[in-house]
């Protein structure tokens, strides 16, 4: 049986470990499993991930536009898609009573998400 693995240079692994150690103080040591707040916590997690993906997609789209890799029609479609996604995220934040600051996460050397 062949196992798929990720190969990593030792210096990159050490850098990763250091980043994780720096982030450790901001990570809660215990999970608060309160049945009353499960929906809110899950919504917060999902919306944070979706916001991260939206921002990554936006940056990728900008790079492709700058390289001239998209047609005018594709640029229009990507722009509308990203706008609709942002609008839907705003709606969901209102439904669950979340603010932008609550979805912010520290991305290490990349800075904060928002």
Q: How does pLDDT run across 48-65, given as a tens digit for each residue?
A: 888 888 888 888 999 999
What's the confidence (pLDDT) of residue 2?
40
What's the confidence (pLDDT) of residue 72?
92
Q: Is residue 41 a part of any domain in this protein?
A: yes
Is the distance from CB of 43 to CB of 92 less than 8 angstroms? yes
- Greater model confidence, 110 or 99: 99
Q: Is residue 23 a part of any domain in this protein?
A: no
Number of domains forming the structure of the chain: 1
pLDDT band at 39 (very low <50, low <70, confident <90, very high): confident
Q: Is residue 7 a part of any domain in this protein?
A: no
User: What's the farthest any 2 CA atoms get from each other in the chain?
Assistant: 50
Which range of 29-33, 35-39, 71-75, 95-99 scores highest in mean pLDDT? It is: 71-75
Q: Is residue 96 a part of any domain in this protein?
A: yes
Q: Tell if the pTM clears 0.75, that is, is over it.
A: no
Q: Is residue 70 a part of any domain in this protein?
A: yes
Q: Is residue 27 a part of any domain in this protein?
A: no
What's the confidence (pLDDT) of residue 88?
94
Task: Tell me the residue range of the domain where 49 lies.
Answer: 37-105
Secondary structure string (H, E, C) spanning the chain: CCCCCCCCCHHHHHHHHHHHHHHHHHCCCCCCCCHHHHHHHHHHHHHHHHHHHHHHHHHHHHHHHHHCCCCHHHHHHHHHHHHHHHHHHHHHHHHCCCCHHHHCCECHHHCECC
Q: Is residue 4 a part of any domain in this protein?
A: no
């Amino acid at each position: 049986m062949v196992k798929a693995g990720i190969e990593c240079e030792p210096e990159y692994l050490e850098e990763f470990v250091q980043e994780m150690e720096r982030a450790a103080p901001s990570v809660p040591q215990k999970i608060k499993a309160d049945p009353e707040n499960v929906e809110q916590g899950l919504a917060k997690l999902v919306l944070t991930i979706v916001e991260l993906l939206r921002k990554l997609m936006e940056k990728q789209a900008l790079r492709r536009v700058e390289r001239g890799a998209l047609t005018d029609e594709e640029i229009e479609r990507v722009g509308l898609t990203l706008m609709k996604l942002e609008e839907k995220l705003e709606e969901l934040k209102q439904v669950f009573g979340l603010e932008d600051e609550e979805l912010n996460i520290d991305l290490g050397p990349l800075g904060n998400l928002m």
